[in-house]
Structure 1
Amino acid sequence: MTLDVYLSVFTLMLFSLGINILSLKTRIPYTVLLVIGGSLLVPLSEIEALSFVTSFQLTPELLFFVFLPILIFESAYNIKIRNIQENKVAISMLAIVGLLISTFFIGYAGQWAFQLLGFDIPLLVTLLFGAIISATDPVAVLSLFKEYGAPRRLTLIFEGESLFNDGTAFAIFLVFLEIMLYGFHGTTTVLQGLFAFCTMIVGGGLFGLLMGFIFSKLIEWVKGHEHLEITLTLLVAHFTFLLAELISEKLVISGHHIQLSSIIATLVSSIVMGNFGRYKMSAGVEEYMEKFWSYFAFLANSLVFILMGLLFASLSIALHVAILPILMMILVVAVARAISIYCSIGIANLNQSEESIPLNWQHLLSWGSLRGAIAVIMVMLIPDDLTLPNWNYEFSIKEFITAITIGSIYFTLIIKATTIGKVIRWLKIDTLLPHEQMSYFKSKAFIYQSLNARTKELFEHHDISEAQYQTLTAEHQDLYQLICQQCDDKTKNPSHVVENMLRIYTLALQKSELKEIYRRGEINENIYKKNLLILETQTERVEQDRPQLESLNTYLDSWIGHIKRAFSSSTSLSETQELYLYYRTQYKLINKVIDELAQIQNSPLVEIFDDPIAVQNVEKIYQYLKDKTVQQMADEIKSNKDLVDDMNAQSAKALLGITRSDTLKDLHKHEIISSKLYLLLKKEMDDGSTQS
């Protein structure tokens, strides 16, 4: 790499930073500004002083082997298996059936449309384009969904579809590309294509599961060594991807070339890491790791979208030749997306085990389908010299597909991305739930009360004059009265809604306390995940205004529960000890909530939870749960006193060890002891020394 290339990379990074700031100021989606900015870099590079800007080129290898695993891991790491399980029919219909419908519709309708324009484009070319452009990009859409308040389930369905259809699209892309390279030989080619497609999807999934399991165990073994843990997460994405590619090149069974989808393998291994491996990490690593991967994904996406603009601006195919095919394909792709959504969701809605997807959600899924990095990567992987016997144009197949692909991407980014917010509002998808509406008003009232309290402090400390104090207080009080009146006018059944808000708050309180208990080493991974699962499920049920569950044994005995147990850490605790520890954890969480509820009337939160009946109802629930848990603990102690005593002794010893370590760190942090003393004391404690 030359100096110009290095200078180009860092200039593009600086350029993306400026684009990001502009996006925040203008509220135009970041990716939209990136591709526009990338297009402008080409004429700027004609200036001699800026000629280095285009020196850095995205090669297919760099995109495929470096950037793509980063983008897959960052997107898949935070998706929960439980959410996939609950929406598996909808996600699989969209990611597989919907994608196949879209691909073949674009292939056949696209060829017909090109003939209307006077272009004799072979069917294989339009099918290859169909596979490329049917893959949706979750990055931009998900941020917009969250910004404009799309429902959580809709966001999860779209995220699941986007992640899995990338792998499906890439598998179909490889099948069509192989046919174009080696020819079509009737039934044999069809069967070979189906076999390759199945091995890529199934084989890639199984291999990803294995790699995720292996790296989760490796993280468990190096727990406490933060840099090793972070390095392993970096390795799992790229190592899985590269190994899947290597196996696909070398593996032959009974004369059949076995291919694995590296995208599916990396996707599955990333999901495994996000659902199982993350709980094996040290306490401080998880938060740092999310920031680490978020930055890497931001960097990769920024470079891909900027260079997408550069690629489009430097196409060798003349714009006056490409413009009509691009416009026609934009229309065909939009129709294909709509047909694939309504058909696949229509079939999914026939399944009674999942909640139906409403029509307005389907409209948004149809419109909110942006294309991005994965489509560009597939285009770059097309050989430059790819041709067909009846291809008689001056431009190559790759140049033609690149033009219509990037043109379609531009349309989705510039038109669809900038209008998603309006579509969400028009379809009334952002309508607040009852507890959200109540929370909106009460939060604003709480803010105005807090502002008044802060204003009073400023006056008492002589930071503002009496006149300023009176003006600000009157202003805040007027706003407070107004929002309280709006709350009374627009909310129905306020006591029930406040009760649901309070339940959500207490469940969040328990999650926070549970994480702290786990950090202190009082419970093992199994108990932590079981409690977390219950709390998350209960939260979702309250948000949907459904009754809370007493237990989740049915769910835990499902296939997902078996997978969780398979990936969980080995434990020296007996079943009795683990059950007692589970009850004890429940008791601590419930006690935390009861203590908090007792203090609400004397805390600022009384402004939000101002209904005594709602507070009493929630207190009764937790008091009942406390009595029940105390009885369950007593039964376990009565039946297995020695086992429980032994477990309590081990637990206390571990907890005291953590307390000792935390105390030493605090002394060092506050400079009560020097680094020299810290290391000396740490060594003595680690060695069990009592040296004075």
Structure 2
Amino acid sequence: MNLEVFLSLFSLMLISLAVFLLSKKLKLPYTVLLVIVGSLLVPLSHIEFFSFISSFQLTPELLFFVFLPILIFESAYNMNIRHVTENIYSIGLLAVVGLLISVLFIGIGGSYIFEIAGFPVPILALLLFGAIISSTDPVAVLALFKEYGAPHRLTLIFEGESLFNDSTSFAAFLVALDLMTKGYHGSESAVGALISFLTMLGGGIIFGLIMGFLFAKLIEKVHGNEHLEITLTLLVAHFTFILTEVISEHLVIGGHEIRLSSIIATLIASMVIGNFGRYKMSPDVEEYMEKFWGYFAFVTNSLVFILMGLLFANLAIDLNVAIWPILLAIATVVVGRALSVYPILWLLNMTGKERPIPRNWMHLLAWGSLRGSLAIVMVLLIPDDLAIEGWTLSFSVKQFIAAVTIGSIYFTLLIKATTIGKVMHVLGIDALTEMEQVGYYKSKAQIYDKSLQKLDQLLANQQLTEEQHDSLKKRYQSLYQLACLDCKAAIGDSGSLTENMLRTYALGVEKEELKDIFLRGEIEEKIYKKISNMLSIQTERIKRGQQQVTSVDEHFPIDSLERFVLLISRIAFWRDHGVNAEELYRYYRALNKISGKVVKELNAVENSSLSEVFDDKTALQKLLALYKNIQANTGDKMLSVIQHNQELLTRLNEATASQSLTVVQAETLDKLHKNEVITNKLYIMLRHELEQKNY
């Protein structure tokens, strides 16, 4: 690399930041504006002074081995495995069956469409194009989903499909490319292609699980060393991706080359780290991880889309010649996407395997299918000299596929992405539910109530004069009363809305207290995950209008990933995963503490100004009774465990006290160092002493 390449890289990053700020003012999708600006940079780069701008180029290796693993990990790390398994039929059908339907329609149906229009294109070339263009890119559309408030389940289905169909699409691309280079030899080629496709997906899943659990174990081993933990998460994405590619190049079984999908391996490994490995990280690292990977994804997306614009503008094919094939390709892709969404989801709704997917969601899934970086990777991987029997057009196969792919991407970015907000509004997807409307006004009331309390504190601290305090208090008191009146109007005669809001509020208190207990070291990872899973299930039940709990003794199943881990552990290591007395006592004590915290908070709500917000006394008393019963029930079970293990309480109290003291000592030392009360030398010495003592 020369200096111009580095200058180009950092200049593009600086331009990307300016584009981000501009996108906020223009209210245009960030990625769309990046592609436009990237295209505009090409004529600028022809000026000698700015010629360095095009020095940093989008290569297949850069996209495939550097950028793509980052984007996969960032999305997969934050996907909840339980939510994915609850929607596995819709995600799986769209990502695999739907994508294959789209590929086949674009290949077979597209050949007839092009032939009728006077552009005879062989089926294999269009199948290759179909494999490239059928995968959806979640980057731009998910940002818009969040901005306009799309339902969580719809966002999850779209993101899950986008991640999984990347691997399906790339596997289909490799199969189609193989058929084009080696030729089609009837049923033998078809069977071989199917086996190769299934091997890539199945092998990728297995290898991804192995790598995910291996790195999760490594993270556990270096627990407490923040730099090593962060480095391991960085390695898991790229190492899994590259190692899968290396294995695919050398793995031969029975004389047949076996390929594994590096994309799906990285996806699965990242999901394992996000759902299993994150609990093995140090608390500070776990909280920092989302920001760390969010930043990397932001930089990566910025570079990919602005470089994409540069690449598009340098397209070798004459646009005057390519415009009709591009328009035909866009129309074919749109129809193919519709065929891959509506029939599949309609049949799924008929089977009742999952909660029904509304028709307006289907419309948005069909329209919001943007294309992006992976399609460019696959185009760049096509050999320049690729030839095919029956090709009669004046440009090469690669030039044709590049033109129609880039044209389709431009259409999705410039037309679809910019209209998603309007489409969501027309379809009513962004409309607030009854519970959200109540939550909106209740939240405003709570915000203004806290503001009133803060005003009193400012007056007491002489940071406001009496006159300023009275003026501001009058204003916020009025806003508070107005929010309460709006809330009552939104509730109307429905008692269930207030009760569900209270239950959601109580579960939020439980989750916060549980996290604090875990960070203090009072419970182990296994217990934390079990209770966290239980609270998530209860939250989902409330959202669906179901009963929060059936009884204080209700058993909540662990998530599917945890069941899988326990099964493998039993088979491979013959481990007994039964719960011992100490773990059982810690489990009941944690439940007792979080239910006690809720009782305290609900009593505080009843006796505070917030009683005007949560003013349904019947619902409040009903919920208080539930949590008091849970508190009493878990208290009895704690006593029962202690009665059978008399020395247990003494041992646990000592362990808890020791852990609490360790946390306090570490926090005190960090504060002294941060405030420059002690020097770095003293900080290192004292930290070393504390670590030695705790070991």
Q: TM-score, normalised by structure 2?
A: 0.93
Partner of 1:406: 406
CA distance in 1, matches of 2:353, 2:427: 26
1:371 aligns with 2:376: no
1:300 aligns with 2:300: yes
Partner of 2:389: 389
Matches within 5 A, 1:235-274: 235-274=235-274
* Per-residue deviation, 1:611: 3.2
1:563 aligns with 2:565: yes
| 8 Å contact from structure 1 (residues 424, 430) kept in 2 | yes
* Per-residue deviation, 1:444: 2.7
Partner of 1:586: 591
Partner of 1:340: 340
Partner of 1:10: 10
* SS of equivalent residue, structure 1 residue 556: coil
1:610 aligns with 2:612: no
* Per-residue deviation, 1:648: 4.5
| 8 Å contact from structure 1 (residues 137, 371) kept in 2 | yes
Change (3 A) 1:565 1:602: farther
* Per-residue deviation, 1:498: 2.2
* Per-residue deviation, 1:230: 0.8
CA distance in 1, matches of 2:334, 2:400: 19
* Per-residue deviation, 1:406: 1.2
CA distance in 1, matches of 2:512, 2:351: 36
CA distance in 1, matches of 2:61, 2:560: 41
Change (3 A) 1:560 1:674: closer
* SS of equivalent residue, structure 1 residue 665: helix
| 8 Å contact from structure 1 (residues 42, 54) kept in 2 | yes
Partner of 1:124: 124
CA distance in 1, matches of 2:460, 2:587: 50
CA distance in 2, matches of 1:328, 1:368: 19
* Per-residue deviation, 1:561: 2.3
* SS of equivalent residue, structure 1 residue 6: helix
Change (3 A) 1:84 1:475: same
* Per-residue deviation, 1:530: 0.4
* Per-residue deviation, 1:355: 1.0
Partner of 1:278: 278
CA distance in 1, matches of 2:184, 2:78: 41
| 8 Å contact from structure 2 (residues 434, 490) kept in 1 | no
Higher mean displacement: 472-481 or 252-261: 472-481
Gaps of 5+ in 1: none
CA distance in 2, matches of 1:575, 1:351: 42
CA distance in 2, matches of 1:3, 1:461: 57
| 8 Å contact from structure 2 (residues 592, 635) kept in 1 | yes
Change (3 A) 1:398 1:603: farther
CA distance in 1, matches of 2:560, 2:308: 44
| 8 Å contact from structure 1 (residues 77, 273) kept in 2 | yes
1:43 aligns with 2:43: yes
* Per-residue deviation, 1:352: 2.5
CA distance in 2, matches of 1:572, 1:486: 52
| 8 Å contact from structure 2 (residues 145, 155) kept in 1 | yes
Amino acid at match of 2:270: S
Partner of 2:31: 31
Partner of 1:288: 288
Partner of 1:146: 146
Matches within 5 A, 1:429-448: 429-448=429-448
Per-residue Cα deviation, 1:172-218 (whole angstroms, up to 9, x for no partner): 00000011111111121111101110110000100000000100000
* Per-residue deviation, 1:566: 5.0
* Per-residue deviation, 1:291: 1.4
CA distance in 2, matches of 1:225, 1:197: 41
1:660 aligns with 2:662: no
Amino acid at match of 1:665: D
CA distance in 1, matches of 2:584, 2:462: 58
1:681 aligns with 2:686: yes
Matches within 5 A, 1:315-334: 315-334=315-334
Amino acid at match of 2:107: G
* Per-residue deviation, 1:438: 0.8
| 8 Å contact from structure 2 (residues 326, 407) kept in 1 | yes
Higher mean displacement: 140-149 or 659-668: 659-668
Partner of 1:488: 488
Per-residue Cα deviation, 1:70-107 (whole angstroms, up to 9, x for no partner): 11111111111101111111111111111111111111
| 8 Å contact from structure 2 (residues 81, 560) kept in 1 | no
Partner of 2:629: 624
* Per-residue deviation, 1:31: 0.8
CA distance in 2, matches of 1:109, 1:264: 29
Change (3 A) 1:625 1:191: same
Higher mean displacement: 471-480 or 17-26: 471-480
Partner of 2:646: 641
* Per-residue deviation, 1:389: 2.8
CA distance in 2, matches of 1:390, 1:6: 44
Indicate which of 581, 590, 613 corresponds to 1:576: 581
Per-residue Cα deviation, 1:541-596 (whole angstroms, up to 9, x for no partner): 11222101346746338675233675799999952221221111111111111222
Per-residue Cα deviation, 1:422-448 (whole angstroms, up to 9, x for no partner): 111211122322221111122233444
* Per-residue deviation, 1:302: 1.2
| 8 Å contact from structure 2 (residues 99, 135) kept in 1 | yes
Partner of 1:421: 421
* Per-residue deviation, 1:449: 4.9
* Per-residue deviation, 1:156: 1.1
* Per-residue deviation, 1:599: 1.9
CA distance in 2, matches of 1:128, 1:172: 8
* Per-residue deviation, 1:480: 4.6
Change (3 A) 1:467 1:559: closer
Higher mean displacement: 507-516 or 563-572: 563-572
CA distance in 1, matches of 2:506, 2:483: 25
CA distance in 1, matches of 2:460, 2:516: 38
CA distance in 2, matches of 1:567, 1:516: 29
What is the Cα-based RMSD across aligned positions, in Å? 2.6
Amino acid at match of 1:47: I
Higher mean displacement: 310-319 or 342-351: 342-351
* Per-residue deviation, 1:497: 1.8
CA distance in 1, matches of 2:559, 2:114: 54
* Per-residue deviation, 1:144: 1.2
| 8 Å contact from structure 1 (residues 442, 607) kept in 2 | no
| 8 Å contact from structure 2 (residues 72, 266) kept in 1 | yes
Change (3 A) 1:557 1:211: closer
| 8 Å contact from structure 1 (residues 498, 611) kept in 2 | yes
Higher mean displacement: 586-595 or 599-608: 599-608
* SS of equivalent residue, structure 1 residue 486: helix
* Per-residue deviation, 1:395: 2.0
Change (3 A) 1:686 1:90: closer
Partner of 1:545: 545
* Per-residue deviation, 1:451: 5.2
How many equivalent residue pairs? 689
CA distance in 1, matches of 2:353, 2:554: 17
| 8 Å contact from structure 1 (residues 135, 371) kept in 2 | yes
* Per-residue deviation, 1:538: 1.0
Partner of 2:313: 313
Partner of 1:499: 499
| 8 Å contact from structure 1 (residues 502, 609) kept in 2 | yes
Partner of 2:157: 157
Matches within 5 A, 1:175-254: 175-254=175-254
* SS of equivalent residue, structure 1 residue 350: helix
Change (3 A) 1:487 1:595: closer
Q: TM-score, normalised by structure 1?
A: 0.94
| 8 Å contact from structure 1 (residues 308, 406) kept in 2 | no
| 8 Å contact from structure 1 (residues 98, 343) kept in 2 | no
* Per-residue deviation, 1:512: 1.5
Amino acid at match of 1:623: K
Partner of 1:76: 76
Partner of 1:106: 106
